[in-house]
Amino acid sequence: MNTHEGWMGLALREAEKAYTLGEVPVGAIVVSNDRIVGRGYNQTETLRDPTAHAEMIAISAAANSLESWRLENCSLYVTLEPCSMCAGAIVLARIQYLFYGASDPKAGACGSLNNIVQDHRLNHSVDLETGILAEKSASMLKSFFREIRNGSLKKP
């Protein structure tokens, strides 16, 4: 499983976990040497924690797994463009590659509103590739918010 689409498919599985809990369906995985070292999905409502984004959980799990906060040779796959908080954590963790699915024109900080992960004024810059399984990621998000609006899905 070493294609970008394959890894993003696994991030989408994490997003599905969030969806079933009534959380915004975003999933993330951290990959090192062709193996998953961290995974996460949005749990802000469940944990009542504004920092419990998929990326933050996956990054923490990877740091734990690798016993280092420096994730220099790691790739992060996330279904939605990271926000400014998550983009900052990606830079601080020294993640080498970021791959994301759908863009987020309202909160995205990796190309949409700004580009924190490639701001050369910072001490680390991340290689970035976007649009991987973007339609599947966007479709899941649209479906989720449609269900929230029509009342068929209750948030926790």
Active site residues: 55
Side chain identity at residue 39, one-letter code: R
Q: What is the dihedral of CA 48, 31, 140, 85, to 10 degrees?
A: 40
Q: Per DSSP, what are the bridge partners of residue 32? A: 35, 74
Going by C-alpha positions, the residue among 34, 33, 56, 42 that lies closest to residue 14 is 42
Q: Do 117 and 68 meet the contact criterion of CB atoms below 8 Å apart?
A: no
Tokens 């920092």, residue?
51
Question: What does R_g of the chain's alpha carbons equal in angstroms?
Answer: 15
Q: CB under 8 Å to 31, separation ≥6 — which residues?
A: 7, 37, 74, 75, 76, 77
Tokens 């992960």, residue?
117
Side chain identity at residue 64, one-letter code: N
